A and B are shown apart, each in its own frame.
Chain A
Amino acid sequence: MAELKKEQGPVDATPNVSEVETVDAVTEAEAVAAIDAPVSQGEPILQVRNLVKHFPLTQGILFKKQIGAVKAVDGISFDLYAGETLGIVGESGCGKSTVAKLLMTLERATAGEVFYKGQDITKLSGRALKAVRRNIQMVFQDPYTSLNPRMTVGDIIGEPFDIHPEVAPKGDRRRRVQELLDVVGLNPEYINRYPHQFSGGQRQRIGIARGLALNPEIIICDEPVSALDVSVQAQVINLMEKLQDEFNLSYVFIAHDLSIVRHISDRVGVMYLGKMAEIGTDTQIYDHPTHPYTQALLSAVPVPDPSAREGRERIILTGDVPSPANPPSGCRFRTRCWKAEERCATEEPLLAIPERFVSAATPAAHESACHFAEEKDVVHAA
């Protein structure tokens, strides 16, 4: 962890997307063995390649005819390293939750791969898929609706054991659940209470305890603190950071609050209309963004501290996000981009380190999907 959390030096020009070392597992047993094998810190644990999810748009009631598709996720690649937190940001509807569901195998990918320790989880089934599902858990946004109101806290946290009894044998469950309550800072005596007897922050802790029950390696967090008040939000974020160190977890942290994402993430990916616009370390993205969309997004964040606001450039975007059913040709951001030129309408910019920065020793040398990528500081006081 210490290695990863350190600020990456300016000479970091390694492409983010690494070679995938696939494991040729012939039998299910081999696949399960590969999935349960340990990964060392800083090695890629999840490798997402050209992931696509289209939701069909249909017309007619009796004879459903497909008239198009919502391109919720439209070709995304990134790596998640063991022990790190990868933040994912972007406006509402850009596909963040859909990515989360694909990683959780809750949705079927339209195309592309998700390699978990070399196994493509989009193609797994049976025991191997079950092993993956044990190792990748999720924490949801809404602590009010994501917990079943008729189940006790003990049943909610222990429910994953019904599907994976090997993790906690029947006689041991109560003790294990109480241990989990303690880990997330709740009184173990609360085991028989119901969700409505808890506050929002406490419910989010229950959700986290449930996510931890099966000793997963990866936790996908979809807006885990968005519904919480500021003072409680800080409590939950601190807890998540502590648990990450304690249990060696890797997080995918989805949120729309850019300050929180910076706080918790080692690397950050910025999504726009189903694509990754830019990805890099927290310093690369926040202090040296090169994609106009990232710059606009960051510049729109209102900053409370007056001394941190002086002379900050604000970029106010005009217009709304286009529909993902009918995204613009070429660069998807071009309808709102102040730098757009003809080329942007005809040629899609690929996510790569911009050529002019490739061999330069600069933090601008990180992946950005723009023909005219250039650095612009929008978060620091002038």
Chain B
Amino acid sequence: MLLEVRDLYVEFHTREGVAKAVNGVNYSVAEGETLAVLGESGSGKSVTAQAVMGILDMPPGKIAGGEILFKDQDLLKLKADERRKIRGQEMAMIFQDALSSLNPVLTVGQQLAEMFVVHRGMSRKDAKAKAVELMDRVRIPAAKERVNQYPHQFSGGMRQRIMIAMAMALEPSLIIADEPTTALDVTVQAQVMDLLAELQRELNMGLILITHDLGVVADVADKIAVMYAGRIVETAPVHEIYKAPAHPYTKGLLQSIPRLDQKGRELYAIKGLPPNLTRIPPGCAFNPRCPMAQDVCRSDVPPLYEVDEQRRSACHFWKETLDAR
């Protein structure tokens, strides 16, 4: 396994109290595999990713438990400089907001070339040629001329492609893309996702795609992990989950999105709101919103039950949920 997150806990110490942002997350990604992490805002998707990358704000953040195994070594036990080396060369991250993650006062060429100078010891001239090559590869038209332009001179879609170029530059074995297309129009989103999937295949990288868009997931992911209140509540191969969700939250999400190919009736709406992370309800965190909740859900935290070899569900009543389609 390329990456394996085991029982990860992250807390934030805030004025309101301790916010339990990540509460025992388990997921894994193999080489060449795409894992989609799906969940509503605040469910802990980004914080988990930041912990993996080693870019968590500490304090206020604190890793309260767990292991992050990357190529069989626990990243949480590494020294800072060893960690930095892995982060620079073997893992890369793509963020939602490309404009604020690029340096506004350097040309995109300078920023791309920098990576080759620092990590590969190339000369400026060779590094710049590499930068043009990369921009070509992510299909920036007229790359030779545009290599000297600044980030604000590019459209949103092109900036996101430049971010992809940066992430790919050193051919890492793992890429984490945190909502890479959320800020883009559907037409541009399709271009960017296509590109990402193509490069991933070519380089046989592991990809963690964080999103709240079920449609995007279905297009590119091999497997999916659904997060709620800092936990993975269901994991499954992508196609299974649509056919038969094994967790009431997943099921509610699937039912609440309108269809493109037909006009539906009234939308199903999950009642209520996600919990405040400083006061997660006892038992199953979803119980105040769950149409299937019983007494046991209010007292006992559901373990991650094995539904079948490839599927897990953190619901006491996963069998009933599967059957009640």
Contact = CB atoms under 8 A, between A and B. Distances in A.
Contact of B158 (A320, A379, A380): A320
A62 interface: no
B146 interface: no
A230 B261 contact: no
A379 B263 CA distance: 12
Contacts, number: 126
Interface in B129-163: 141, 155-158
Contacts of A309: 218
Interface in A184-216: 199, 201
Interface string A296-335: 1110111111111100001011111100000000000000
Contacts of A237: 258, 267
Interface SS of chain A = helix
A231 B269 CA distance: 6
Interface in A356-382: 379-381
A367 B320 CA distance: 49
A302 B216 contact: yes
A91 B187 contact: yes
B40 interface: yes
Contacts of B218: 302-306, 309
Interface stretch (B98-106, B188-196, B300-308): B188-196
A305 B242 contact: yes
A199 B257 CA distance: 20
Contact of B270 (A231, A287, A296): A231
Interface string B235-268: 0001100110000000011101111110110111
Contacts of B193: 302
Given A199-B273, A241-B266, A92 B185 contact: yes
A304 B41 contact: no
B157 A232 contact: no
Given A231-B252, A233-B256, A304 B214 contact: yes
A232 B268 CA distance: 10
A50 B55 CA distance: 53
B174 interface: no
A81 B105 CA distance: 51
A379 B266 contact: no
Nearest to A94: B185
B269 A235 contact: yes
A263 to B, nearest CB: 4
A301 B185 contact: no
Contacts of A314: 190
B212 interface: yes
Contacts of A300: 186-187, 189-190
Interface string B275-302: 0000000000000000000000000000
Contacts of B256: 230-231, 233-234
B260 A286 contact: yes
Contacts of B242: 304-307
B266 A238 contact: yes
Given A201-B273, A235-B269, A301 B258 contact: no
B230 to A, nearest CB: 15
B260 A298 contact: yes
A240 to B, nearest CB: 11
Given A306-B239, A320-B155, A231 B261 contact: no
A258 B253 contact: no
Contacts of B268: 234
B187 A380 contact: no
A304 B215 contact: yes
B212 A230 contact: yes
A317 B191 contact: yes
A316 B259 contact: no
A50 to B, nearest CB: 27
A278 to B, nearest CB: 15
A256 to B, nearest CB: 7
B278 to A, nearest CB: 15
B45 to A, nearest CB: 12
Contact of A229 (B41, B190, B194, B259): B41
A258 B260 contact: yes
B260 A301 contact: yes
Interface of B: 40-41, 141, 155-158, 185-191, 193-194, 212-219, 238-239, 242-243, 252-254, 256-261, 263-264, 266-271, 273-274
13 contacts: A91-B188, A229-B212, A230-B256, A234-B267, A237-B258, A238-B269, A256-B186, A263-B263, A297-B187, A301-B215, A316-B190, A316-B194, A321-B155
Given A287-B261, A381-B261, 14 more contacts: A230-B40, A234-B270, A241-B266, A259-B260, A262-B258, A263-B263, A297-B187, A300-B187, A301-B215, A303-B260, A305-B218, A306-B239, A308-B260, A316-B191
Interface of A: 91-92, 199, 201, 229-235, 237-238, 241, 256, 258-260, 262-263, 282-283, 286-287, 296-298, 300-309, 314, 316-321, 379-381
